[in-house]
Amino acid sequence: MALSVPLKTLALDTSTLRGSVALLDGDSVLAELRLASLETHAARLLGSIRFLLQTAGWNLPDLALIAAGLGPGSFTGIRIGCATALGLAQTLRVPFAGISGLDALAFQHAALGDRIGVIMDAQRGQVYYAEYASRNGRIRKTRAAALWFPAELKRRLPHRGVRFVGDGAGKYAEALGPAVRSWQVVDSQPFLAGPIGRLALARRRLWRSGDALVCEPVYIRPPDARRPGGRKK
């Protein structure tokens, strides 16, 4: 959707160890900070946002949209990012948009072809996988996101007509087989704040405003913690 006046957007993603924060002026990424370190997102996120705003010469009231990655990824990481983004949106009284990291990667590579398979590293020897149809720069999910071991996913991947993107495609190329080795996009980056911000701007129907904002994280992987007797917490 074309906007007559470019919006100033803060986008952030803390769903994995490779978190990121980006400032977008319209759909152009003005500044980006990549957060690949052993320090927790809770300890560094607000400071990173403050640093990036100062570097760009922006103030918090300049922001017109807050976008956050909904996952899949770490339970704790996703909650930190969503809580921070929701708090900022409510404080500033600007819209909030929650975006799946898988959707953001597909949108980033929408020009590659009609069919896109996103393979994201899920750690623990697993990957998240979803498929999309791409047309005129827009994407539509055609295969729901799921968690796979690469050897299991290999038997279910299409061998023709699909472009595979994502950090999992490179990391597990051998295990995923010839379909991925023939088509993988090697320049896919796991830092998603920029693509999340761009997709948020393109999907205005996802914007939420008001005093009781909520988001629906995309976890996919079941929680590790369980109650006595095998019930999940």
- Taking only the tens place, the pLDDT of each residue in 113-133 is 789 999 999 999 999 999 999
Helix 41-56 vs helix 75-92: angle between axes, to the nearest 10 degrees?
40
Please tell me which residue, 5 or 215, carries the higher pLDDT value. 215
- Which H or E run contains 109? none
Domains of the chain from N-terminus onward: 8-101+191-206 (3.30.420.40), 110-183 (3.30.420.40)
Can you read off the two tokens belonging to residue 152? 């299991």
From CA 134, how far away is CA 113, in angstroms rounded? 7
Please tell me which residue, 210 or 23, carries the higher pLDDT value. 23
Average pLDDT of the chain, as a whole number: 88
The answer for residues whose C-beta is within 8 angstroms of residue 104's C-beta and 6 or more apart is 69, 192, 195, 196, 198, 199
132-184: pLDDT as tens digits: 999 988 999 999 999 999 999 999 988 778 888 999 988 898 898 887 766 65
From CA 74, how far away is CA 14, in angstroms rounded? 8
Can you read off the two tokens belonging to residue 86? 């929701």
pTM higher than the cut 0.75: yes
Which residue's entry shows tokens 């998603």? 192
Write the single-letter amino acid at 106. A
Q: What is the pLDDT of residue 209?
A: 93
* Residue 7 CB-density burial (10 A; 0-12 exposed, 13-18 middle, 19+ buried): middle
- Whether pLDDT at 93 is above 50: yes
Alpha-carbon 14 to chain mean position: 9
pLDDT band at residue 13, thresholds of 50, 70 and 90?
A: very high
